[in-house]
């Protein structure tokens, strides 16, 4: 059985692109959400194996959604998506419990690699996330 993924981004074309990339890689996108509030409802309803979560969104941003998802399920696996220049937001998300991140505009293979690594690692953050945290702390 393929991993079940929730895709969260406020831009419809980004959700579509992420769905295509993940589906082609063999994952099942169980739901999509356009903001953090919708993400929480979809997370509760579908209980996905992993969430790909944008940081900057209306209604409820990705950082707040991440915190609330982890409050519902501390073992939730979340990969954050961010635009270039949002390193501090990515670092904050990692410190809060995100397992990895991808930067937009992303390469499809980077998205797939991040999702695969997070699914394999389970509860720990990936090396790229740990490296980013150490660079900011160094």
CATH superfamily ID and name for 4-137: Response regulator (3.40.50.2300)
Residue of higher predicted confidence among 125 and 35: 35
Q: Please, which residues bridge with residue 53 across strands?
A: 8, 80
- Taking the model in full, what pTM does it have? 0.87
State pLDDT tens for residues 22-75: 999 999 999 999 999 999 999 999 999 999 999 999 999 999 999 999 999 999
State pLDDT tens for residues 90-100: 889 999 999 99
Q: In which order are the strands placed within the sheet that holds 100-104?
A: 28-33, 4-8, 50-54, 78-83, 100-104
If you search the block for the tokens 């998300």, which residue do you land on?
Answer: 93
């Amino acid at each position: 059985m393929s991993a079940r993924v929730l895709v969260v981004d406020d831009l419809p074309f980004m959700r579509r692109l992420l769905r295509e990339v993940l589906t082609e890689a063999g994952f099942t996108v169980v739901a999509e959400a356009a903001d953090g509030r919708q993400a929480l409802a979809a997370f509760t309803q579908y209980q996905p194996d992993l969430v790909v979560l944008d940081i900057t969104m209306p209604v409820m941003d990705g950082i707040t959604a991440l915190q609330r998802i982890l409050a519902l399920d501390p073992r939730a696996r979340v990969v954050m998506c961010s635009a270039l220049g949002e390193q501090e937001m990515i670092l904050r998300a990692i410190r809060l419990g995100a397992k990895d991140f991808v930067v937009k505009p992303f390469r499809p293979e980077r998205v797939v690699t991040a999702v695969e690594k997070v699914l394999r690692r389970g509860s720990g953050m990936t090396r790229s996330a740990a490296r980013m945290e150490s660079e900011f702390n160094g």
